[in-house]
């Protein structure tokens, strides 16, 4: 209650203390996050999609996590999608009232042809967003698996879902501003869902982003460093190998480690379902 009379240092200390609560809250719901990862990885490996649905901060965090998947894991942009109440313009400016229409959430599911191969994760820090509830209920009717991520205790009439992830973060330093602790907890959970799901899909070897495809100078450099780390080759030789593989890190590694030309290395990777460890026989 004394936030407006605290010194800057006192206010920052208070926020630091509160942020730790978000991390602890996420740790407490690890079994639920693991259940969500199992749903998502199974769906994605079977040709399904993951949809994040939210409004305001929750919606923006979902769009952010989805948009990071293609450059990090070389996924098709359709595989993980973020849907925010109010549409694209809501990413940059609040669209008042957009979150209040459950029918719009349901319509978003119909527009994207959500079906029984897909997973829909509704995100509502405060737990009551009608747009999210409408999307989850419609997704369930369409046969999709559903996840509800919220940072408050359960309330009456919540949508029925397959998994509830509930990191309860408590009151915010700035009352009602769920972009703070609740936003932090949400980001942590979304990081875990997509990262560990992609690991399960074979898009990571050790802790390296081997599914990376070099499309700019930064990624060419990163790709060469990954190849060098795994193969022990000098950087210049790693870069040459990466160019021979048309920028595909995983393919370059198979070519070198298994002493195969491009076409045969590509075929081996395909038979291994893209899993580098399987292709290398390690």
Contact 202, 276 (CB under 8 A): yes
Set 9, 78, 96, 99: catalytic member: 99
> Between the CA of residue 242 and those of 131, 219, 236, 251, what are the distances in Å?
45, 11, 10, 8
Number of residues that this document lists for the chain:
282
Q: Which domains does the chain have, with CATH numbers?
A: 3-200 (3.40.50.10490), 217-280 (1.10.8.1080)
Contact 80, 111 (CB under 8 A): no
Contact 52, 83 (CB under 8 A): yes
Q: What is the pLDDT of residue 102?
A: 96
Q: Are strands 80-84 and 50-54 parallel, antiparallel or unpaired?
A: parallel
Q: How far is CA 50 from the centre of its chain?
A: 9
Contact 120, 114 (CB under 8 A): yes
Q: What is the pLDDT of residue 227?
A: 97
Sequence-distant (≥ 6) Cβ neighbours of residue 147 within 8 angstroms: 36, 39, 40, 119, 120, 121, 122, 161, 162, 163, 164, 165
What value, to the nearest 5°, has the Cα angle with vertex 169 and ends 13 and 87?
Answer: 105
pLDDT in tens, 262-278: 999 999 999 999 999 99
Does the annotation mark 99 as catalytic? yes
Averages of pLDDT over each 10 residues, the chain, 282 residues:
96 97 98 98 97 96 96 92 93 84 96 98 96 98 98 94 98 94 98 97 94 87 96 96 94 96 95 94 85
Q: What is the pLDDT of residue 105?
A: 97
Contact 117, 45 (CB under 8 A): no
Q: What is the pLDDT of residue 213?
A: 78
Sequence-distant (≥ 6) Cβ neighbours of residue 180 within 8 angstroms: 15, 18, 172, 173, 174
Contact 51, 114 (CB under 8 A): yes
Does the annotation mark 68 as catalytic? yes
d(CA 8, CA 118): 47
Contact 230, 254 (CB under 8 A): no
Tokens 């209650």 correspond to 1
Q: What is the pLDDT of residue 71?
A: 84
What value, to the nearest 5°, has the Cα angle with vertex 102 and ends 101 and 103?
Answer: 90
d(CA 198, CA 140): 24
pTM to 2 decimals?
0.92
pLDDT in tens, 175-218: 999 999 999 999 999 999 999 999 999 999 999 999 987 888 99
Q: What is the pLDDT of residue 74?
A: 87
Q: What is the pLDDT of residue 93?
A: 86
Set 24, 68, 103, 237: catalytic member: 68
d(CA 44, CA 50): 7
Contact 95, 86 (CB under 8 A): yes
């Amino acid at each position: 209650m004394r936030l407006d009379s605290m010194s800057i240092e006192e206010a920052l200390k208070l926020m630091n203390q509160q942020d730790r609560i978000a991390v602890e809250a996420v740790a407490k719901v690890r079994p639920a996050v693991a259940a969500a990862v199992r749903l998502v990885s199974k769906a994605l490996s079977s040709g399904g999609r993951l949809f994040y649905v939210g409004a305001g901060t929750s919606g923006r965090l979902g769009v952010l996590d989805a948009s990071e998947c293609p450059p990090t894991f070389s996924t098709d942009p359709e595989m993980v999608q973020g849907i925010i109440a109010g549409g694209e313009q809501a990413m940059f400016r609040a669209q008042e009232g957009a979150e209040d229409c459950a029918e719009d959430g349901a319509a978003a599911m119909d527009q994207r042809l959500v079906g029984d191969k897909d997973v829909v994760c509704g995100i509502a820090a405060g737990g009551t967003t009608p747009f999210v509830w409408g999307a989850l209920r419609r997704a369930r009717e369409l046969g999709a698996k559903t996840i509800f991520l919220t940072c408050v205790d359960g309330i009456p009439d919540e949508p029925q879902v397959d998994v509830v992830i509930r990191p309860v973060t408590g009151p915010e330093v700035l009352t009602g501003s769920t972009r703070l602790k609740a936003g932090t907890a949400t980001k942590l959970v979304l990081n875990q869902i997509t990262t560990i799901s992609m690991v399960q899909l074979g898009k990571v070897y050790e802790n390296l982003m081997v599914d990376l495809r070099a499309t700019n100078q930064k990624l060419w450099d990163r790709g060469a460093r990954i190849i060098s780390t795994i193969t022990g080759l000098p950087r210049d030789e790693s870069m040459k190998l990466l160019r021979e593989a048309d920028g595909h890190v995983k393919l370059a590694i198979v070519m070198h480690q298994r002493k195969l030309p491009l076409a045969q290395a590509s075929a081996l990777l395909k038979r291994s379902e893209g899993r580098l460890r399987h292709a290398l026989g390690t």
